[in-house]
Structures are given as C-alpha cells and as structure tokens.
Amino acid sequence: MKLSFRWYGENDPVKLKYIRQIPNMRSVVTAVYDVPVGEVWSRESIAKLKKDVEESGLIFDIVESVPVHEDIKLGKSTRDKYIENYNENIRRLAEAGVKVICYNFMPVFDWTRTQLDKELEDGSTALVYYKDQLEKMDPLNGELALPGWDSSYKKEDLKALFEDYSRINKEALWGTLQYFLEKVIPVAKENDINMAIHPDDPPFDIFGLPRIITGEANIDRFLKLVDSPNNGLTLCTGSLGCTKSNDIYQMIDKYSSQGRIHFMHVRNVKILDDGSFEESAHFSTCGSLDIVKIMEILHKNKFQGYLRPDHGRMIWDETGRPGYGLYDRALGASYITGIWETLEKLK
C-alpha cells in the first residue's frame, strides 16, 4: 500500500510540511489547477509541482485529476483535439515520473453533496447528501457553490450543456467512453501509466444527467471496453458504498484480486433510511462501512497500489476547503496505517 494525501497546490491551507509529518505518508496527490479543462499542461507547471512535493520529502507520482472535456463525453466533432491534448498530458506527466492518473466520466458535475457544513452529534461538520435537499435544488438557477460543481460555468453555458446531454442516453455515453479509452489507453501503456477511473458520486443519476460508473455490472462492462491492465479503477469506498445496492466488499475483493484497482479512496459514510448519507469519521463504528474489513481484503490480495484517506470532517475548529481539512484526514491516515501494520504483523 502506498499511502498518499490530496493537496490542492500553493493556495491549499494544508501545507506540504504538515502532510510530511503524518506517519507513513509517501505520496502527494495533486494536479495543475490553473489550466482550463481540455488544454495541455505546461512542462513548467508540472515540474514546479514535482519540485515542491519532492522538496517536502514526499513523492510526486500520482495525479488527481486530469479532467475529461465535456466535448469528449458528448462525442462532439472537437473531441479528437481534446483527446490529443489529453494524451499529451499523459506523456508529459510520465516524463515527470507519474505512474497513475485518476479521472472521471461524470457529465457536467463531479461529486455532489447538498450541504457542506452539516453539524454532527459530536460537534464536527461534514459533507452530506440529503435527498429532500436535492429535490429543492435547481442547478440552472442560482450560484453553483457546492463541491464538484464547476463554478466557472456561466448560467447560459450550463443551460446549453444540459440541453446537449438531454439529447444523449446512457448507451451513447458508453460509446463516447469507449472511444476515449481506445485512444488513450494505448498511450498510457506506452508511457507506463495506469489510468484509474473514479466511480460516479453518488452512483446514480442526478438532475436528469446520465451516469454509468455506478456498480459492479457496469464496472465489469467498463473494464472490458479496453481490456488492459492500464485501464483500471480508482475505487472510492464512499462513492460506491453510499448505497446499499452495492456490495462494496465484494467489489474490492474482485477488482483488487484482478489487479485492476490502481488507487483506493477510503472513507466512511453513514447511510440513512431514505437513501441519503452523511460523511463520517473513518473509524468503522462511525459509519455504515467496515473499514477494517476493507483493509483486510486489500491486504489479503496483496494490494500494492495507491491509497488515500478521502474526505474528512472539519474538527477542532479547523477552517478551509470543506471535506479537505488536515486534521480528520490525518486521523484517517493514521487509522488506516494502524490497521495495515496490524495485518502485516499478524501474517
């Protein structure tokens, strides 16, 4: 297991020196954030990231994310230009020593929550997804200020995007994903990079937008689109595990034994009776997922990929990017490391 930690660059209130102080921490998960989606990252920007990370005593060898332009997902005539830009980013990241690229194929929005600062019983605040709140939300009316929502979209551009997606169904999205993979995976293989798709979060349709990386059957289909070891998964326990329809333990066992999990996002969620969920502390009894069981499965299957503690609560009066505070994610990293060390010693 290669323990890693998400970092949002120079403007992140979480400093690299703090990440370095977390026991067993190895890699920094980051990206170039000042380039529009679909454009080529400059070698200078990549080199600066690498320099900053390595000077802190950590390793720069995994990127999250290289976003996929909407024209690729929609199958527009411009997609080949954006795919070639994507491939150039793969080549440039390989030059810098990157081994895994995380990405997603979610239309318009990445991960979506309905509230950033829900106060839990212990006084901490967390990201939550409440169905009754979602029903009152209109993404085409008002400011887009929730995580996973691109606030750079103008209202008229967002409306046009929704209209574009209203013209395609899930099968069409499967088709554009296959087209993308057939162009990208050979380049990744040539450059010794593993592509790791992140599941849809949450793993069901929202606002009428199609979502396809949602569960075991669809992941099986995805892996067969281009059946290559370089075509793999970012398996997020909180994304796939936030609905009882997914057997998260079965999926982790299956795909880790096949060597198709290149990156693990480990977090806990508390599933509510109506299918809503709250993000919780990593400790197993705080949520609906058994983190010890998850780590046992990975250890049994000799998982050698990257793993990061995913979203954390805001605790101890910390302020900053919701879900990405230092303290709770550091606790999560230490909890995960403790489980792993115990499993190693019990071999």
Give me the active site residues, please: 198, 236, 265, 310-311, 324
CA torsion angle 190 308 32 21 (round to 10): -120
- Identify whether the C-beta of residue 83 lies closer than 8 Å to the C-beta of residue 180: yes
Please report which helix (H) or strand (E) contains residue 253, including its range: helix 248-257
Amino acid letter at 40? Answer: V
Three-state DSSP class for 229? coil
**Gyration radius of the chain's alpha carbons:** 19
Give the whole-angstrom CA distance, residue 223 versus residue 18: 37
Give the whole-angstrom CA distance, residue 117 versus residue 101: 30
Q: What's the gap between Cα 305 and its chain centre?
A: 15
- Identify whether the C-beta of residue 29 lies closer than 8 Å to the C-beta of residue 63: yes
Three-state DSSP class for 263? strand
Terminal CA-to-CA distance of the chain, rounded, Å? 15
Strand partners, 232: 196
CA torsion angle 206 103 7 96 (round to 10): -170
Give the whole-angstrom CA distance, residue 264 versus residue 148: 19
